[in-house]
Amino acid sequence: MDPTPLDLARAALLEERERLLDEQRETTIQAPDPMTYGSQAAAASQVFAQQRDLALRDHNQQLIEAVDAALARLDAGAYGICVTCGRAIAPERLEALPSAAHCIDCQKKATAGRHR
Ligand SMILES: [Zn+2]
């Protein structure tokens, strides 16, 4: 039996979820240890690395949540439907981004709305 587009979407989402969880495990936040601060520069670069890791982790967490939400929509039979306008999301868009929750129009509006 050939897999349906929804089977393929589920497989892609589960794979993406695994990858994101792996990435998150690799990004372990190191607590700064004052004893290892050799200089101001070393301290600054450690703080920078920590902030970068935190930002990465944050972004990663958001992606995992988006994948989880997409899997929930799959189970609910609402996968591929824009959560904002209720129209079908273009198959090309879902192929490129299986966790997409919005159609391209709503995504554009949301992105434009962020510029303030
Ligand atoms: Zn929409």
Sign of CA dihedral 62, 68, 69, 70: positive
Confirm whether 35 is domain-assigned.
no
Q: State residue 36's pLDDT score.
A: 58
Q: How many domains does the chain have?
A: 1
Confirm whether 32 is domain-assigned.
no
Confirm whether 109 is domain-assigned.
yes
Domain span including residue 80: 5-26+40-113
For residue 31, report the distance from its CA to the centre of ligand 1, in Å: 42
What does the pLDDT look like over 54-73, one tens digit per residue?
999 999 999 999 999 999 99
What does the pLDDT look like over 18-28, one tens digit per residue?
999 999 888 76
For residue 37, report the distance from its CA to the centre of ligand 1, in Å: 51
Which residues, 6 or more positions from 77, have their beta carbon under 8 angstroms from its beta carbon?
none
Domain containing 64 — which CATH number? 1.20.120.910
Q: State residue 40's pLDDT score.
A: 82
Q: State residue 70's pLDDT score.
A: 97
Q: Look up tokens 């589960």; give the residue.
A: 14
For residue 56, report the distance from its CA to the centre of ligand 1, in Å: 28
For residue 104, report the distance from its CA to the centre of ligand 1, in Å: 7
Q: Are 50 and 32 in contact (CB under 8 A)?
A: yes
Q: What are phi and psi of 103, to 5 degrees?
A: -70, 165
Query: pLDDT under 70 in the chain at which residues?
Result: 28-37, 114-116
The reported pTM is: 0.78
Q: State residue 30's pLDDT score.
A: 61
For residue 76, report the distance from its CA to the centre of ligand 1, in Å: 18
